């Protein structure tokens, strides 16, 4: 017996079925977001696929675990699939599995962290954007192989200041670690975990100490003075920027915060 079978069999026409997600509107961002991210039916869909495939822990291939931490209002996932041609090429030459890492689909991620080249989203042969559900490594329209070695870029030229570049790289490292630790989480992280950590770290700081924290105004006004207000109703999540700022300010890793 599959739970939530209405999503599979399209019994309830008001609900999005898995079939709809896979077969219709294949280029819409919402479908990418349904399976990988932050929509309310994502856990249901993933659970159904786990049952259908007899594979556990498929949720760790998605961002579901961070639903109660990151701000879902942000456009977290890209509108269409993106890829690193260098990664594809190396994986094929080395006989490795060719797949689409979750990191590539996240809106903030513009470059391959490993090869420092721009992630691509348009086929260099037919100039079309990939359908969301395509065979990794191949164009979903013309079928051409998308892998290619390219020289690394000087990322500094893409950012208006060193500060922006460092901020970008911090955010990406933070994202990489969030994705990496997902299978090791004993429970789904909650935004209160973050607030509690901040409260414990900051409640004893005086005005002078708080001044060193660039987000101190936020803590001062909403967290330290009103820690009891830090609940779901008050604020559903924090931005990736803010999370990575916490990591930087307190010199911790996301693992130390959530594991």
> Which residues here bind Zn ion, judged by CB under 5 A?
84, 86-87, 112, 114-115, 123, 125-126, 139, 141-142
The smaller minimum CB distance to Zn ion, of residues 133 and 215, is found at 133
Distance of CA 167 to the CA centre of its chain: 17
Distance CA 133, CA 159 (A): 32
> Which of 57, 64, 62, 48 is closest to 8 using CA atoms?
48
Residue 87: Cβ within 10 Å count: 22
Tokens standing for residue 186: 């004993």
> Cα separations (Å) of 218 from 202, 210, 215, 221, 259?
12, 10, 6, 5, 25
What minimum distance in Å lies between the beta carbon of 128 and Zn ion? 6
Distance CA 93, CA 190 (A): 41
Report which DSSP code applies to 228.
Answer: G
What minimum distance in Å lies between the beta carbon of 84 and Zn ion? 3
Q: What is the dihedral of CA 129, 135, 137, 138, to 10 degrees?
A: -60
The smaller minimum CB distance to Zn ion, of residues 131 and 196, is found at 131
What minimum distance in Å lies between the beta carbon of 21 and Zn ion? 23
The smaller minimum CB distance to Zn ion, of residues 87 and 246, is found at 87
The smaller minimum CB distance to Zn ion, of residues 145 and 242, is found at 145
What minimum distance in Å lies between the beta carbon of 142 and Zn ion? 3
The smaller minimum CB distance to Zn ion, of residues 86 and 195, is found at 86
What minimum distance in Å lies between the beta carbon of 158 and Zn ion? 16
The smaller minimum CB distance to Zn ion, of residues 117 and 230, is found at 117
> Cα separations (Å) of 73 from 76, 124, 127, 132, 188?
8, 32, 30, 21, 19
138 forms beta bridges with 145
Tokens standing for residue 248: 């930087």
What minimum distance in Å lies between the beta carbon of 141 and Zn ion? 5
């Amino acid at each position: 017996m599959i739970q939530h079978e209405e999503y599979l069999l399209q019994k309830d026409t008001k609900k999005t079925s898995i079939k709809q997600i896979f077969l219709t509107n294949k280029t819409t961002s919402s479908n990418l977001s349904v399976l990988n991210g932050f929509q309310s039916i994502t856990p249901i869909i993933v659970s159904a696929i786990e049952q259908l495939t007899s594979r556990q822990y498929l949720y760790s291939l998605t961002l579901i675990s961070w639903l109660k931490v990151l701000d879902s209002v942000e456009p977290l996932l890209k509108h269409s699939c993106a890829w690193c041609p260098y990664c594809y090429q190396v994986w094929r030459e080395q006989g490795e599995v060719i797949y689409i890492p979750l990191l590539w689909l996240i809106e903030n991620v513009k470059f391959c962290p490993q090869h420092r080249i721009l992630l691509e989203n348009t086929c260099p042969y037919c100039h079309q954007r990939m359908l969301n559900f395509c065979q990794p490594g191949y164009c979903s329209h013309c079928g051409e192989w998308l892998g290619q070695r390219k020289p690394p870029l000087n990322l500094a030229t893409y950012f208006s200041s060193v500060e922006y570049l460092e901020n970008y790289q911090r955010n990406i490292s933070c994202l990489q670690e969030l994705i990496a630790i997902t299978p090791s989480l004993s429970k789904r992280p909650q935004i209160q975990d973050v607030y509690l950590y901040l409260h414990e770290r900051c409640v004893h700081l005086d005005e002078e100490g708080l001044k060193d924290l660039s987000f101190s105004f936020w803590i001062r006004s909403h967290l330290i003075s009103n820690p009891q207000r830090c609940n779901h109703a008050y604020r559903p999540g924090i931005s990736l920027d803010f999370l990575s700022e916490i990591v930087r300010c307190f010199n911790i890793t996301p693992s130390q915060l959530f594991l």
